Amino acid sequence: FAGMLSNPRLVTMQNLTVLMNQNVTMSCCSVSASPPVRYTLFKHNQQVSSLNRSDSSPALFTLTISSASDVGPYKCKAEYNSSTDGKYSNSLSFTLREPISKPVLSSPTSHTLQGQNVTLSCFSENGSLPITYLFFKGNQSISPQKTMHRREAAVIFLFVKSSADSGTYKCKANNSFPNSTKYSNSFNFTVAEERSHSQPLIISLGLLLLLLIIGLALAIPFLIIPSYKASE
């Protein structure tokens, strides 16, 4: 006589946080079941695998977590072969630690003037969050670390004081995946000297003076001739 099935318990033999391409083993067992029992593993309500147990040992399911779609949720169903009714387990999901892709360093402009701000953005398209970014000029870091908990770029603003601020900039990104630090492409921008504000003023005054001289040169004959006639 088959005993009453209790809801099976689904547990993992590893930590729930896994690396990409890591194998995981899940154990499913109904403690009150009388063998034989059929155990079926589901992911997103889709059947993954089934095992028959002729004793009271748990069913062990081994899978490879190769992408984000493999993290779950998983459930297990226990049933007797002679019965259409089964009992379902708790739900189990994994957290995937994925290595980051090479970050891309970019800016809206590659040319700037002294006294202006320049925006630098660093972004890794792939990799498990959070991702930490750090910006460099040469080998010197130029900002505090920026940790992004959403899939968005880290941004810094540089105030360009002189042409010495042009140079080679890079950023690096890393996350919780072991040895995942990656460096971006190099980015250079040129700094042009800002024109002096006094130059247009000097040019304007020069033109005004020139016009005044021309105006006087044209007016002198008209001023001299009447005075000459008056003296005759």
Give residue 231's pLDDT. 57
Indicate the domain borders of the chain: 9-97, 104-192
Residue 111, strand partner residues: 190
What are the pLDDT digits (tens) for 76-132?
A: 999 987 666 789 999 999 988 888 999 999 999 888 888 889 999 999 999 888 999
- Classify strands 17-19 and 95-97 as parallel, antiparallel or unpaired: parallel
| pLDDT score, position 210 | 83
Extract the residue ranges of the chain whose pLDDT is less than 50: 1, 196, 198
Q: What sign does the dihedral 28-34-35-36 (CA atoms) show?
A: negative
- What pLDDT sits at residue 75? 97
Residues in the chain: 232
Q: Do domains 9-97 and 104-192 have the same CATH topology?
A: yes
pLDDT at 193: 73
Q: What does the pLDDT read at residue 172?
A: 97
Print burial letters for 171-185: b (CB count within 10 Å at least 16), e (below 16).
Answer: bbbbbbbeebebebe
Note the pLDDT of residue 83.
63
d(CA 183, CA 58): 46
Is the domain spanning 9-97 CATH 2.60.40.10? The answer is: yes
Q: What is the pLDDT, as a whole number, of residue 1?
A: 44
104-192 belongs to which homologous superfamily?
Answer: Immunoglobulins (2.60.40.10)
CA 47/CA 75 separation, integer angstroms: 9
- What's the pTM value of the predicted model, to 2 decimals? 0.57
Greatest Cα-to-Cα distance within the chain, rounded to the nearest angstrom: 150
